[in-house]
Amino acid sequence: MYARRRHVYFAMMGTCLALFVLAWGVVRLWSVPVAVGMCVVAMVIPPLAAMVANRRGPDDRWWDDPSGDPKSDEWWDELDDKRRP
């Protein structure tokens, strides 16, 4: 799951970079408002890419990691109906 999120992140960031470069390298020669619009779209992509990359998937069981406190871990295991050997 992590590799998939990483690939999506890099694809989104590549799209952002391509939009920015194409906007001011090519499109501005024909239409400056379209180039500005492309940059606005490119501006929105990085925060969305960061959210996609940092999203927790259903297979990411980060909350199951032991905290180091045996009493607390035992209590949480009891709540989750999970017994440690």
Reported as a single tens digit per residue, the pLDDT across 11-56 is 999 999 999 999 999 999 999 999 999 999 999 999 999 998 888 7
Contact 44, 37 (CB under 8 A): no
> What is the DSSP secondary structure assignment for residue 27, as one 8-state letter?
G
In-domain check, residue 71: no
Average pLDDT over residues 59-83: 72
In-domain check, residue 66: no
Query: Per-residue pLDDT for 77 more than 70?
Result: yes
Cα distance between residue 48 and residue 15, in whole Å: 12
Q: Closest by alpha carbon to 35, among 46, 43, 27, 25?
A: 27
In-domain check, residue 49: yes
In-domain check, residue 64: no
Number of domains in the chain: 1
pTM confidence score: 0.65
Range of the domain at 34: 1-56
Contact 83, 77 (CB under 8 A): yes
Cα distance between residue 64 and residue 80, in whole Å: 10
